[in-house]
Amino acid sequence: MKTTNFKFDRRAQRNRSRLKKSANGRPRLSVFRSSKNISVQIIDDEGGRTLAAASSLEEAFRKKHKKGADKEAAAAIGKLIAERAKAQKITSVVFDRGAYLFHGRVKALADAAREGGLEF
C-alpha cells in the first residue's frame, strides 16, 4: 500500500541519487521545509554522519526572529549554516533541495548560504 507521501518521497530519492553520483566526495547540504519552520544539515554520505546543522527551532534563532517560515528566516538559516560550515572547514557542498522546488524559501536559503561562503 502506498503512503500519502509516496510521490514526494520518490521525488526526493530521485534527486538524492543523482546528487550522490555527481558529489565527488563533497558533503550534501540537505534542506527540510515545513509549514512553520525550516532546517538544514550538512551530511557526509560516505561516513553517514551530520557535520553541521541549523534550524529555525533553535533558541538563539527564536530570540531574534518571530517567524521561522518566511524568506527572511530562511536567509538567516542559510547564513548560519555557512558560518558553521566554515568553522568545520567545509567550503564546497552539493545542494540537496529534496522534493521541494528551488523557489521561495529554499532559494532564499541557498542564496544566503552562497553569500556566506559556501560553494555549490
What are the residue boundaries of the structural domains of the chain, listed by start?
A: 6-115
- pTM greater than 0.75 (yes/no): yes
H/E element holding 20?
A: helix 6-22
Q: Which fold has domain 6-115?
A: Nucleotidyltransferase; domain 5 (3.30.420)
- Name the pLDDT band for 99 (thresholds 50, 70, 90): very high
24: left (phi over 0), alpha (psi -120 to 50) or beta: left
Q: What is the pLDDT of residue 3?
A: 82
Asked if 79 and 72 count as a contact pair (C-beta separation under 8 A), the reply is no
What was the pLDDT predicted at 25? 87
Q: Return the pLDDT at 2.
A: 80
